[in-house]
Structure 1
Amino acid sequence: MKTDNQHIDKQQLIHILAAEYGVQIPAITFVPKGEEAWTYVAQTAAREQYFVRVQPAVSATNLERVFPIVYALHQQHGLTQAVAPLKTCHNTPVVSVDDYIVAVFPYIEGQTLHQRAPTAADLTAAAALLARLHQLLPDAPGLRREDFANPFKAPIMRALDAARTPAAEQTFLQQEVCGLLKAERADILATLERMERLQSQAQQLVTDWVLTHGDPNRDNFLKDQQGTLHLTDWSDLAVGPPERDLALWTGDWFEVFLQAYVRRRPSLKLHRELFEFYFYRWSVQEIADYATRILFRRLGPAEDEHAWAELQDYLPVKHQGIAQGVEHVQSVIERVLG
């Protein structure tokens, strides 16, 4: 999140760090990062630092299943760049507090590949790390398997219904969101229908199934001061096709990235249809997230301003941009894979 949550009791967090992790800290500092959780840096009197992530429990139901797999990747499979949470004194990966899930991570000093433009060496390292992940499939009972569903249809329909019958009292930005949703309603509904066709098409493809990160965007690749690249935020870990991860690297750097990736997975076969599916699912996910955040969650003016700016990047739906992106992907695949 971009602004702190005043409902999170900071003294309670400090107590949790002491009681559950044996870490004594005088204070914690909010840092704006990500979209799903509130994040803090905790520092001891000896200047040891920790990264604390506080996520609403309703959106963190899978963390207790996911984090043990990340431990296995790190400890048993040698994927040491996978950033796993510290275990509590009770050997659990997270702590439940009121309506939140708290996870504590080692603090890594450095910059993400979003904060600094990646070099060719960074792209090669990121691709190699992702390819290595895709070559591992640890024993992971209960891990989610990609079913190409669209869980964002229901929240979008809720937002569309709210736009048709707006509440009597609305903020300015809620009025703006309702106006945009009403103007784009027909195309949003058509896009949801397109998603159903893409889902059916994806389910029929014979594809490679691998362990996927789920959100390996540039902000989740962290380069430390020694030059090592780390991969963070494993909350969307699932078994799925490699396109689930590769779709997030299909911009200007895709060809360099894919060349480095293929060096580790030379028998790779990719499907343009899956890239189209993930491009559209990402779009409807962002529409659902930012529209409902403003209309229903009311996280404060600063968060609403951020959500409104982000929503306008996805509405109207960028059909032409997605089509061009798919064509670009296809041309790169043909050049790299033959």
Structure 2
Amino acid sequence: MLSRPSFISDETVANAVAAHWRFKIADIAHLPWGFGAHHWRVAGEAITLFVTLDELEPRHTATSLEAAYAGAAALSAAGLEPVCAPLPALSGRFTVDVGVGVLSVTPWLEGRSPTEAEAGEASHVHEVVLALAALHGATPPDGIRPWTPQVGPKFADELRALTVTPWTSGPLAEQARLAIAEHTDAIARWTGRYLELADKAISRKGSWVPTHGEPHNDNQVVTAHGLKLVDWESLALAPPERDYADLLTTTDGLPLPDLAMAELFALDWRLSEIAAYARWFAAPHTGSHDDHTALGGLHEELAPDPK
């Protein structure tokens, strides 16, 4: 997230990392990065760690998040080079409950994430496709969850009911409510198509593969040792198009994606984001930088596809 969390201090994070990963801390700094979790850079005498605080409901339970991070660690241990996996705590688990969410740590990567423009260059797309092909060809780790549809057939009706009366939960609440209310017919159409495609995908469940879920540029780090994929909280068995949906090209020698499945996962992203933003703005908020970023994200997901 872009804003520092008000519900946990740097000291609490540092103490948890020190206790559960037996790490002697010299410095800690909150990082205004990403969107959906909070991050810190924690430096020690010999190494530096990247610390993540994930809140749980509704995206995860403690069990599902632990399974995702344990699965990423298993993929890395099996030799999958692009995986930047979490490090186990002294307990052997990869997540530690701190009351307001769970902490995980990964090694700090020396490198940087590409910009959207850089990520669209053919040479970079080639490298991403090769990394994803390796992931999709890997043996699924024990405990990896299967993908499931993010919304059900009543989603549009639920949003209609939610947006009937004004929202007084914060300074951006009414803008968000009106935007959603104006698009419930479109949301109903998108949902119908989404569930139709989801049924098709589920009928082929035997061919599903390990997928990252969000391998966009912000979850890529270019290092001296090659491309690394980070943020494995969405690891799941699914059609490979779950990872390829946002890529504009493929490399020679690889099959073109199933266009229906690519459409499914474009809708999967859109509808899950709309659901998340509806919860966001129906709940108390203050008009922070994160809130304004979220409102922009909501408008982006509600916009019709270009013709």
TM-score by length of 2: 0.88
Q: Which of 228, 231, 234 is the matching residue for 1:233?
A: 231
Contact between 2:220 and 2:228, CA under 8 Å: does it hold in 1? Answer: yes
Which residue is 1:90 aligned to? 91
Contact between 1:202 and 1:273, CA under 8 Å: does it hold in 2? Answer: no
Measured in 2, the distance between the counterparts of 1:127 and 1:8 equals: 38
Q: Which of 121, 124, 145 is the matching residue for 1:122?
A: 124
33-42 vs 154-163, which moves further: 154-163
88-97 vs 179-188, which moves further: 179-188
Contact between 1:25 and 1:42, CA under 8 Å: does it hold in 2? Answer: yes
Contact between 2:87 and 2:105, CA under 8 Å: does it hold in 1? Answer: yes
Which residue is 1:278 aligned to? 265
Change (3 A) 1:206 1:15: closer
Measured in 2, the distance between the counterparts of 1:107 and 1:217 equals: 19
SS in 2 for 1:164: coil
Which residue is 1:327 aligned to? none
Question: Matches of residues 204-215 of structure 1 in structure 2 within 5 Å?
Answer: 204=203, 208-215=207-214
Contact between 1:73 and 1:79, CA under 8 Å: does it hold in 2? Answer: yes
Measured in 2, the distance between the counterparts of 1:22 and 1:135 equals: 35
Q: Partner amino acid for 1:237?
A: L
Measured in 2, the distance between the counterparts of 1:304 and 1:287 equals: 14
Larger Rg: 1
Which residue is 2:292 aligned to? 305
1:154, CA displacement in angstroms? 6.6
Which residue is 2:70 aligned to? 68
Question: Kindly, what percent of the aligned residue pairs are identical?
Answer: 24
Change (3 A) 1:69 1:182: closer
Which residue is 2:138 aligned to? 136
SS in 2 for 1:298: coil
Which residue is 2:281 aligned to? 294
Measured in 1, the distance between the counterparts of 2:287 and 2:152 equals: 23
Which residue is 2:81 aligned to? 80
CA deviation profile, 1:158-186 (whole Å, cap 9, x unmatched): 5432321224x353311111111222222
CA deviation profile, 1:253-299 (whole Å, cap 9, x unmatched): x1xxx11571xxxxx46421111111112111121122321222526
SS in 2 for 1:57: coil
SS in 1 for 2:301: coil
In structure 2, list runs of 5 or more residues that go unmatched.
none
Which residue is 1:105 aligned to? 106
CA deviation profile, 1:56-107 (whole Å, cap 9, x unmatched): 13234212112222222112x2113311111112222111111210001100
180-189 vs 82-91, which moves further: 180-189
Q: Partner amino acid for 1:183?
A: E
Identify the structure with the greater helix proportion: 1
Q: How many residues align?
A: 303
Q: Partner amino acid for 1:80?
A: E
Change (3 A) 1:187 1:122: closer
Contact between 1:155 and 1:292, CA under 8 Å: does it hold in 2? Answer: no
Contact between 1:287 and 1:311, CA under 8 Å: does it hold in 2? Answer: yes
Change (3 A) 1:299 1:19: farther
Measured in 2, the distance between the counterparts of 1:238 and 1:170 equals: 34
> Over aligned residues, Cα RMSD in angstroms?
2.5
Change (3 A) 1:259 1:145: same
Instruction: Indicate whether 1:315 and 2:302 are aligned.
Output: yes
Question: Matches of residues 216-231 of structure 1 in structure 2 within 5 Å?
Answer: 216-224=215-223, 226-231=224-229
Measured in 1, the distance between the counterparts of 2:92 and 2:204 equals: 41
Contact between 2:31 and 2:40, CA under 8 Å: does it hold in 1? Answer: yes
Measured in 2, the distance between the counterparts of 1:307 and 1:23 equals: 35
Change (3 A) 1:180 1:84: same
In structure 1, list runs of 5 or more residues that go unmatched.
263-267, 325-338
Q: Partner amino acid for 1:90?
A: S
